[in-house]
A and B are shown apart, each in its own frame.
Chain A
């Protein structure tokens, strides 16, 4: 009662004092992250110097001095090289990319039939997007349409037949071939890799030995030799009169190669499974395939999703090697077009490669980000 009358007892909390200026805001962030110590300061200054030295030049070359429009090499060449730019100026030749853009995407595919690859692309995107969204329903049907039906439909759409005008695979090229090769490789290598991994862990010695042999030989040699094998040896292996399409040979080579790598990734997941899971499935009376399909593989694959996506990214990058066996994927068609006399300037090759590199980079980067997202989404077991 009387105690409450003590007027010097404070009734409210004192307002908090603002943090010292050196502990908040931009200044603090700069201090903590860039100038924490003498060594840090030196490093930061060195990095800023490096950026100041390189970045303006790169931006100047890529955008400011670049030629954006034009119909032939004059737009990108300097006067002494027979063009219109002042001597000494050097910039990216984006006019080259925009003039050849259709070729970079479709190769030498007849331009009046572009609707066919575009339709395939549209179907692919429509089927792929719900496949990638974890919450979208009907995953089974979606997968069936994307991985089984779409390849057949697109094969007829792109190659012709059944009333459509045929287009030889020789004419396919550009980003289209890159995407076909990598999509086919991904579709084949995952199931094949799973079978190989299961075979490698099988307790039947013959099966195990064959799988180990296949995996280790393929993993021990470069993809180039596999592609050479596919392009030079396959025709030798076949009986008279049988021929294999060049694209199909490359598809076989790429898929075999990535299956071996996929098998090792999946094996990592299988090995990480606790023994109790196998025994638990056995005690339920499940058969071998039921056990694998319902208990082991769903868990094992979930564990190795980053590895699987890394293999996909590797496969996507490796498709560029078909250029060496004479096919024109994105990289191949960019290289081919540089020798076009209409466009040959000192900056043409580098511009083409910057463009191709950027396209490859976007696809690979998107895949790696998606794998991070899936990892977080599927990481249900360890949350507390």
Chain B
């Protein structure tokens, strides 16, 4: 206390004396920062020196030149042409595309299950709400890796052999080598159907804008939703029929030891996809429930006072406000799913981490491969975050 009083008494002399420099928060701050920079630099320098030394000792070349080398390993499921003669760079691309593929399908399925379960948890129907709760409590509290292995080694591995495949509807088969289903072979002019779909989507967007502008101007509503659905389904279907149904199917046929023809989804993909979807859905369900519950009750009451029916209230009043709360945590769940897809390595699905791991074992270039992982995952995160921030800004409450 004495020192405190003293400094109050003669502040000028305190500030000017050199001994007070060490009490100046600014000077201290600069000192601490210089110290931190020095320590970090020392740490990085030591680590770099050690790494260079260790790499030299192990005779491992550095640099990204190895990406041009022949990979020499096979990948079961690829989206782009790939063989063991392709380069490491190509293998990594295949892995990245596989990651994106499982993340894409996982996100869609997880969102659908998550929204359904989240809304079910709020149901007034006791049984439905309890069932949804049991689902959430089970999947939220079990490691995703366990769920993946459960599907892979517990369920799919003990399915019948290819000879005794389980026949599913639509000429599909399920056995311990995965799901076999007919492959669509597009005939001449089939690309027109795709063009029609794009045209229909663009037209629907234009109609939405026009309808909104018209409603703002005149108050008249337009059934833009139904029109859009009609366009998006109808236009490609009409084109398809007009071209004379240019499609044929390659059906899987049961051979002696395996099914041939058609398309296959391997057990790795199925187990990863199912596990990630179910696991993430339980978190999305909780987010959806929280978001809907966070919309004030007064909003529902005000909507009823305006004479809106319950369905319309949900659609036009509750959901838009709940979405604002739901979207930011939903983004991080999507990112989590994408990152969790790296668990693929446990079942041997060739995602970017599994491919990188194989490359690491073959070439020993740990630093470069880890750097590639970092760059890939960080850019995925940044891209998703940017998209979601844009979406969030669009949905955000416009206030004065």
Q: For residue A355, give the distance in angstroms from its CB to the closest CB of chain B.
A: 11
Q: Name which of A67-75, A358-366, A375-383 contacts chain B.
A: A358-366
Which B residues are in CB contact (< 8 Å) with A219?
381
Query: Is B150 touching A350 in the complex (CB atoms < 8 A)?
Result: yes
* Residue A228 CB within 8 A of the other chain: yes
* Residue A196 CB within 8 A of the other chain: no
Q: For residue A362, give the distance in angstroms from its CB to the closest CB of chain B.
A: 8
* Residue A36 CB within 8 A of the other chain: yes
Query: Is B36 touching A206 in the complex (CB atoms < 8 A)?
Result: yes
**Complex Cα–Cα for A233 and B353 (A):** 15
Which B residues are in CB contact (< 8 Å) with A320?
143, 145-146
Closest 4 pairs (CB-CB, A-B): A350-B154, A364-B141, A33-B126, A222-B339
Given B33, B127, B339, which contacts A205 in the complex, CB threshold below 8 Å?
A: B33
**Complex Cα–Cα for A360 and B140 (A):** 11
Best-surrounded residue of B53, B147, B154 (most CB of chain A within 10 A):
B154
Query: Is B125 touching A34 in the complex (CB atoms < 8 A)?
Result: yes
**A339-383 at interface with B (beta carbon < 8 Å):** 346-347, 349-350, 353, 356-357, 360-361, 364-365, 368
Query: Is B33 touching A237 in the complex (CB atoms < 8 A)?
Result: no
Given A36, A51, A217, which contacts B125 in the complex, CB threshold below 8 Å?
A: A36
Q: For residue A350, give the distance in angstroms from its CB to the closest CB of chain B.
A: 4
* Residue A232 CB within 8 A of the other chain: yes
Q: For residue A71, give the distance in angstroms from its CB to the closest CB of chain B.
A: 23
Best-surrounded residue of A44, A228, A235, A346 (most CB of chain B within 10 A):
A228
Q: Mark A255-266, 1 if CB is under 8 A from B, else 0.
A: 000000000000
Q: For residue A204, give the distance in angstroms from its CB to the closest CB of chain B.
A: 5
* Residue A43 CB within 8 A of the other chain: yes
**Complex Cα–Cα for A44 and B50 (A):** 66
* Residue B243 CB within 8 A of the other chain: no
> Nearest chain-B residue to A50 (Cβ)?
B131
Q: For residue B135, give the distance in angstroms from its CB to the closest CB of chain A.
A: 12
Q: For residue B146, give the distance in angstroms from its CB to the closest CB of chain A.
A: 5
Which B residues are in CB contact (< 8 Å) with A5?
none
Q: For residue A98, give the distance in angstroms from its CB to the closest CB of chain B.
A: 19
* Residue B170 CB within 8 A of the other chain: no
* Residue B386 CB within 8 A of the other chain: no
Query: Is A233 touching B154 in the complex (CB atoms < 8 A)?
Result: no
Query: Is B377 touching A43 in the complex (CB atoms < 8 A)?
Result: no
Given B142, B150, B374, which contacts A361 in the complex, CB threshold below 8 Å?
A: B142
Best-surrounded residue of B124, B149, B343 (most CB of chain A within 10 A):
B149
* Residue B207 CB within 8 A of the other chain: no
**Complex Cα–Cα for A33 and B370 (A):** 55
Q: Mark A306-343, 1 if CB is under 8 A from B, else 0.
A: 00000001000110110110000001000100100000
Query: Is A368 touching B51 in the complex (CB atoms < 8 A)?
Result: no
Query: Is B370 touching A232 in the complex (CB atoms < 8 A)?
Result: yes
Given A204-B29, A207-B32, A225-B377: A33 in contact with B125 (beta carbons within 8 A): yes
**Complex Cα–Cα for A353 and B346 (A):** 15
29 sample A-B contacts, Cβ–Cβ < 8 Å, listed by A number:
A33-B125, A34-B127, A36-B124, A44-B127, A48-B127, A203-B29, A206-B36, A206-B37, A210-B36, A217-B374, A221-B339, A222-B339, A222-B340, A224-B342, A225-B342, A228-B360, A233-B367, A236-B55, A240-B53, A285-B4, A317-B141, A321-B145, A324-B343, A324-B345, A331-B145, A338-B153, A350-B154, A360-B142, A361-B142
> Nearest chain-A residue to B43 (Cβ)?
A237
Given B50, B340, B370, which contacts A228 in the complex, CB threshold below 8 Å?
A: B370
Which A residues are in CB contact (< 8 Å) with B353?
222, 224-225, 228
Contacts A220-B378, A240-B53, A324-B343 known; list 8 others, CB within 8 Å: A43-B125, A204-B29, A228-B357, A238-B50, A240-B54, A240-B57, A321-B145, A349-B154
Best-surrounded residue of A44, A232, A285 (most CB of chain B within 10 A):
A232
**Complex Cα–Cα for A246 and B155 (A):** 32
* Residue A87 CB within 8 A of the other chain: no
Q: For residue A256, give the distance in angstroms from its CB to the closest CB of chain B.
A: 14
Which A residues are in CB contact (< 8 Å) with B145?
320-321, 323-324, 331
* Residue B137 CB within 8 A of the other chain: yes
Best-surrounded residue of B53, B57, B125 (most CB of chain A within 10 A):
B125
Query: Is B346 touching A233 in the complex (CB atoms < 8 A)?
Result: no
Q: How many A residues touch the partner, as a band? A: 35 or more
> Nearest chain-B residue to A30 (Cβ)?
B126
* Residue A16 CB within 8 A of the other chain: no
**Complex Cα–Cα for A36 and B381 (A):** 45
> Nearest chain-A residue to B380 (Cβ)?
A220
Which B residues are in CB contact (< 8 Å) with A357?
142, 146-147, 150
* Residue A20 CB within 8 A of the other chain: no
**A1-53 at interface with B (beta carbon < 8 Å):** 33-34, 36, 40, 43-44, 47-48, 50-51
Best-surrounded residue of A33, A51, A346 (most CB of chain B within 10 A):
A33
Q: B residues bordering A, Cβ < 8 Å?
A: 4, 29, 32-33, 36-37, 40, 47, 50-51, 53-55, 57, 123-128, 131, 137-138, 140-147, 149-150, 153-155, 157-158, 339-340, 342-343, 345-346, 353, 357, 360, 366-367, 370, 373-374, 377-378, 381-382
Query: Is A368 touching B141 in the complex (CB atoms < 8 A)?
Result: yes
> Nearest chain-B residue to A264 (Cβ)?
B332
Query: Is B381 touching A220 in the complex (CB atoms < 8 A)?
Result: yes
Given A43, A335, A349, which contacts B128 in the complex, CB threshold below 8 Å?
A: A43
**Complex Cα–Cα for A321 and B144 (A):** 9
Query: Is B345 touching A232 in the complex (CB atoms < 8 A)?
Result: no
Given A225-B353, A346-B158: A44 in contact with B128 (beta carbons within 8 A): yes
Q: For residue A118, give the distance in angstroms from its CB to the closest CB of chain B.
A: 25
* Residue A239 CB within 8 A of the other chain: yes
Q: For residue B106, give the distance in angstroms from its CB to the closest CB of chain A.
A: 14
Query: Is A356 touching B124 in the complex (CB atoms < 8 A)?
Result: no
**Complex Cα–Cα for A51 and B131 (A):** 9
Query: Is A210 touching B138 in the complex (CB atoms < 8 A)?
Result: no
**Complex Cα–Cα for A47 and B128 (A):** 7
* Residue A229 CB within 8 A of the other chain: yes
Given A47-B128, A232-B370, A240-B53: A353 in contact with B345 (beta carbons within 8 A): no
Given A221, A224, A229, A323, which contacts B378 in the complex, CB threshold below 8 Å?
A: A221
Query: Is B36 touching A34 in the complex (CB atoms < 8 A)?
Result: no
Query: Is B47 touching A232 in the complex (CB atoms < 8 A)?
Result: no
Which B residues are in CB contact (< 8 Å) with A47?
125, 127-128, 131
**Complex Cα–Cα for A206 and B41 (A):** 13
**Complex Cα–Cα for A353 and B144 (A):** 12
**Complex Cα–Cα for A353 and B271 (A):** 14
Which B residues are in CB contact (< 8 Å) with A313?
141
Query: Is A224 touching B343 in the complex (CB atoms < 8 A)?
Result: yes
Q: Mark A274-298, 1 if CB is under 8 A from B, else 0.
A: 0000000000010000000000000
> Nearest chain-B residue to A353 (Cβ)?
B150
**Complex Cα–Cα for A347 and B353 (A):** 30
Query: Is A335 touching B29 in the complex (CB atoms < 8 A)?
Result: no
Which A residues are in CB contact (< 8 Å) with B374?
217, 220-221, 225
**Complex Cα–Cα for A163 and B142 (A):** 40
